[in-house]
Amino acid sequence: MWPWELPRRFIAGQLLQDLYNHLFKIWRSGTGGLAAPEGTKMSDTTFTSPVMGSAPHRGIFSSYRTIVIIILVLLPLAVLASWIVPYLLHPVAPENAAMPISSAIEDKYGIRISQVAVTADGGMIDFRYQVTDPVKAANFALDPASTPVLYAGGSNVAVNQTSPMSHKELLHVGTTYFLLYKNASGSIAPRTYISIVLGDLKLDGVPVR
């Protein structure tokens, strides 16, 4: 769906459609829905207010028309913004989004992050990494301080509840290993982007499957 189609689709609801049509008719008539007697000039028609007294109809209707025009302009923009802004704040990751690579993480920890996915009906996060250096990766797996911390995109919400890494066997180059995180309150959702922090290193723009 293209962005400019959003207002039209949203206003397809009967109530909003009726409101939109009514405001447009008011704007076209320029009389606020009040018809002047036949043969009466607009300049001869007055409006009596208990507070303001008599005033020319034209000034009242001119102001009213301005308000209606503003509403007609702002309503579609507000609808469009309600759809666009959330996507700007929380971009949606396509299903085939590429996993970013950090040479700094590979050099220090001997691993390459290969996948982050929501599993167990949204209750767990499956974090997978591929070994590029068995010795560095073994140190990474045995050091609790190097456990990756996941941050939901656009927030400071940290996901770090995981079981201690227990890959005690000799790690092999090219082999993929995993960690399971508790996804408390669904902090991380599929098809979003997150950041991963390992010690003093950070990897941004990681897509979640």
Same domain, 74 and 114: no
SS3 at position 162: strand
Same domain, 114 and 191: yes
Q: pLDDT tens for residues 66-95?
A: 777 787 777 777 766 665 555 555 567 788
Helices (H), the chain: 6-10, 14-29, 57-89, 103-109, 134-142
Boundary of a domain, candidates 33, 66, 89: 89
Per-residue pLDDT for 161 more than 80?
A: yes
Q: Using N-to-C axis directions, what is the helix angle for 14-29 and 57-89, rounded to 10°?
A: 140
- pLDDT, position 89: 55
**Segments forming the whole domain that contains residue 170:** 103-207
Is 97 inside a domain boundary?
Answer: no
Q: Which is more confidently placed, 82 or 33?
A: 82
CATH assignment at residue 201: 2.60.40
Q: Are 91 and 153 in contact (CB under 8 A)?
A: yes
**All residues at 6 or more sequence positions from 55 whose CB lies less than 8 Å from its CB, including other chains:** 46, 47, 49
Is 183 inside a domain boundary?
Answer: yes
State the average pLDDT over residues 43-49.
45
Is 120 inside a domain boundary?
Answer: yes
Is 98 inside a domain boundary?
Answer: no
What is the model's pTM?
0.57
- pLDDT, position 112: 97
- pLDDT, position 45: 45
Q: Using 50, 70 and 90 to split pLDDT, how confident is the model at 42?
A: very low
- pLDDT, position 99: 93
Same domain, 110 and 186: yes
Per-residue pLDDT for 208 more than 60?
A: yes
